[in-house]
Amino acid sequence: MSKRKLPSGSVALSQYRDQHFRSTDSKNTTLRGNRTEQEKLLLLSTTLYIGNLSFYTSEAQIHELFSRAGDVKRIVMGLDKVQKTPCGFCFVEYYTRADAENAMRYINGTRLDDRIIRTDWDAGFKEGRQYGRGKTGGQVRDEYRTDFDEARGGYGKMLATKIRRTSDVS
């Protein structure tokens, strides 16, 4: 009953693993070694990845919500690689693990700026990760979306291009 080894419930690790994760240990090159180290970091991390933000949500708004779970150390806004404007995600780092856990418990799935946001553990911010990884510079999900999401730049990038082309032709 008290012998819980791994965090469970809302503070458990999700299935998702960052595919770009690279170990800082140069000897650690195997895929499996990488995974184990990544998991170890995730279990100790005080950093969260926050997704499904509006492009218009400011750092200060994020700060207000997340500081309700504990003392926020820093926020790194996710930026479009090309335009250097917010592209709908960020990293929130806390001073302590306990505070980060509270954010996972009580903020994941609630609203910020009228959008349901998602929180997940992150292995820790590294330079370069603030940029979107989509082909056009934003987040990958915004390349393929087919819905119209005003707070995230309207239609997905691919669909938007198609629409533009069609209207150019006609």
Partner 1 sequence: MERRRRRTDSLSDDEDDDRGRKRRRIATDGVDIEDRLESLITRVGEKSTSSLESNLEGLASVLEADIPNYKHQIMKILCQCVVSLPEKLTVYTTLVGLLNAKNYNCGGEFIEMLVRNLKEALKTGEFENARMMVRFLSDLVNCHVLVAASLLQMFDSFVEVTLEDNIPQVRSDIYVYLVLSALPWVGRELFEKKENELNSMLVTIENYLSKRQKVHLPALRVWLNEGPHLQEEYLDCLWAQIKNLRSNRWNEKQIMRPYLAFDGVLCDALQHTLPQIIPPSHNKSMVYPLPRVVFRLFDYTDVPQGTVLPGSHAIERYLIEEQINRIINTHHLERKDCAVALLGYPAKNKIPLNYMIVEVMFGQLFELPRAPYLELFYGATFIELCKIQPSSMPEVLAQASEMLFDRLDTMHSVCIERFVHWFSYHLSNFQYKWSWEDWAECVNMDPNAPKSKFVREVLLKCLRFSYYQRVVESVPESFASLLPPDPKPFYKYEQEGAGSLAGTMHAHKLISSIRSKCTPEEAAQLLKDLPNVYPNGQENENPSFNPLKIDVFFSTLLHLGSKSISHSFAALAKFHPNLKSLAEFEDGKICLLKVLYETWKNNQQIMVVLVDKLLRTEVVECSSVANWLFSFEMQHDFTSFYVWEIMHSTIKKMSRHVDQLQLDVDNAHDKQEAAKRKEADGLDAGEDDVPSDEAIERMEEKLEAATSAQKNLFLVIFQRFIIVLTEHLARCESAGVDYNTPWYKWVIERLQQVFLMHHELVFRYINTLEQLLFTSDIDIHILEVFQQFCALRS
Task: Out of 50, 53, 75, 123, point to the residue binding partner 1 (CB under 8 A).
Answer: 75
118-122 vs 115-116, strand pairing mode:
unpaired
Alpha helical stretches, state H, the chain: 31-44, 59-66, 97-106, 141-144, 157-169
Task: Out of 37, 113, 120, 149, point to the residue binding partner 1 (CB under 8 A).
Answer: 113
Contact letters (x/-) for partner 1, 2-41, by CB under 8 A? x-x---xxxx------------------------------
Quickly tell me which residue has 């997704």 as its tokens.
51
The pair of three-digit structure tokens given for residue 120, joined into one six-digit string: 């997940």
Nearest to 94 by CA among 72, 113, 126: 72
Task: Out of 45, 102, 136, 139, point to the residue binding partner 1 (CB under 8 A).
Answer: 102
Closest separation between CB of residue 90 and partner 1, Å? Answer: 10
- Residue 106 binds partner 1 (CB under 8 A): yes
Q: Burial of 51 by CB count in 10 Å (0-12 exposed, 13-18 middle, 19+ buried)?
A: middle
- Residue 60 binds partner 1 (CB under 8 A): yes
Q: How many Cα atoms are found within 13 Å in the side-chain-facing hemisphere of 89?
A: 25
Residue closer to partner 1 (CB basis): 50 or 75 = 75
User: Where along the sequence are the contacts to partner 1 (CB under 8 A)?
Assistant: 1-2, 4, 8-11, 58-61, 63-65, 68-69, 71, 74-77, 102, 105-107, 110-114
